[in-house]
Structure 1
Amino acid sequence: MNPISSLVFVLLLTVFPTQILCQTALMEQACRYTTYKLLCLETLAPDPEAQSATDLKTLVKVSLKYTENQALDIDNKILQLIKSATGDVKPVLNNCSDKYLIVVEKIQAAEASLGYNDVAGAKTWLKDATTNRNMCDEGFKGKPFKSPISDMTTKLGQMQSNAESIIAHI
């Protein structure tokens, strides 16, 4: 566990002790299924819908909502970067913008599939989102510049992995 994640968790416990300690049995169960447990708790614990959840499906919906928001944030960041980009980085960012529109659509499709109790469909849509996210990342490989969105895309991948891990237990 990295120091920043530990600090955030301690702060969450300090600010919301009863909500986190009393309402987290299901959240803790769900997050035990994930690779990025602390990120899972950081995502779910402050959310009112997650706090009142009575099933894993609700927690997955919340997790996917935040995953979608992260993808939208990345797309907005890419659009900002394109405005000031020059040289070889601009076409790579344009490609990423196209891919992230698809990533957002695929995450939204996964959310819709869950709404229809189509777990298999949700898994498929999320795999498609990963494929498009990876296509963006591939554009930066072998270039003389680093991806300006790599930290954000790493977090998105972790958030999506957490959602997929919980979905596997519905």
Structure 2
Amino acid sequence: MEPHNILRLLFISLYVLISNGSSKSDLTPTAFPGPQPVSSHKQPTSGGLPPAPSLGPQVGPSSSITLPPTTSDAPSEAPISPNAHAPSPYARPSSDINPQVKKICDSTDFPDLCLKTVIPLLREKSNLESVLEITIKVGDELAKRALSLAKKLAHKPGTPPRLSSILKDCKDSYDMAVENYTKTINALSMKDIGTMETMLSAVITDLGDCQDGFEEEEGDSPFANFADKLTNITSNCLALVSLMK
């Protein structure tokens, strides 16, 4: 082989070796990354930050918190008493209720109402006169509250004339009811059974006079609850008075 051919082949071989070495180094990465952790959250497809991890139940404007239910042995209706802080008779077991008081209340038209009215205010004495006195005074207190409401409504500006007239009649009726309760209390101190029966019967009439005005106009009476409770309490008073004969 001629020298120039040998030289030519040598250059070709050297070129191939150099080219193969460069390609191999370019294809080989300098460092492999370690294992990549798998995320539990999907990455957003439209850019932006990934969602924050949940930290438990979230309370927002539209969510609500449900409190655990409470239990109570007391009735839904609060005890009738002029003392707002007086305990309910139903807060104590029935075995703790004075049997003498229960016997007295069982003689009334509304025994449960009698117990609810009397027991929160009953102190040492538990005889008939004590039960009657408390029942009368509770009725008197409720009548005074109704009278206060009647005065406020009767003088409310902008009240239609017909309604204003009815409210003024109710104010007069409850004013008379309070006066008749006061006379009943005074008669009790003298054991004047006749006067007590007359005054208590007049109270029931006074309550009816107020309610009649609203019934004639086919309207709702703002005194309906007062009238119902007072009528029942007064009926109990009359029953208790009859036991004194």
Q: Give the TM-score taking structure 1 as reference length.
A: 0.85
Shift of 1:13: 5.5
Is 1:65 aligned to residue 117 of structure 2? Answer: no
Counterpart of 2:120 in structure 1 is: 46
Per-residue CA deviation, residues 120-168 of structure 1 (Å, 9 max, x unaligned), is: 2111111122222221122112204211111111111011111111111
Judged with a 3 Å threshold, the aligned counterparts in structure 2 of structure 1 residues 110 and 96 are, in CA distance, closer, same or farther, namely same
Aligned-partner Cα distance in 1 for 2:76–2:204: 29
Q: Which of 143, 164, 167 is 1:93 aligned to?
A: 167
Aligned-partner Cα distance in 2 for 1:51–1:28: 15
Which letter does structure 1 place at the counterpart of 2:103? Q
Q: Percent identity?
A: 20
Shift of 1:6: 4.1
Counterpart of 1:113 in structure 2 is: 187
Greater helix share, 1 or 2? 1
Equivalent residues in 2 for 1:14-163 (5 A)? 15-17=91-93, 21-47=95-121, 50-84=122-156, 86-87=159-160, 88-163=162-237
Give ranges in structure 2 of 5+ residues lacking alignment. 1-73, 79-86
Q: Helix, strand or coil: the match of 2:219?
A: coil
Task: Mark the structure with the bigger radius of gyration.
Answer: 2
Greater relative contact order (Cα < 8 A, sep 6+): 1
Aligned-partner Cα distance in 2 for 1:154–1:13: 21
RMSD: 2.3
Per-residue CA deviation, residues 9-61 of structure 1 (Å, 9 max, x unaligned), is: 9x9456444xx6445222201110112111111111111xx242242011100
Per-residue CA deviation, residues 43-93 of structure 1 (Å, 9 max, x unaligned), is: 11111xx24224201110011000100111111111222233611211101
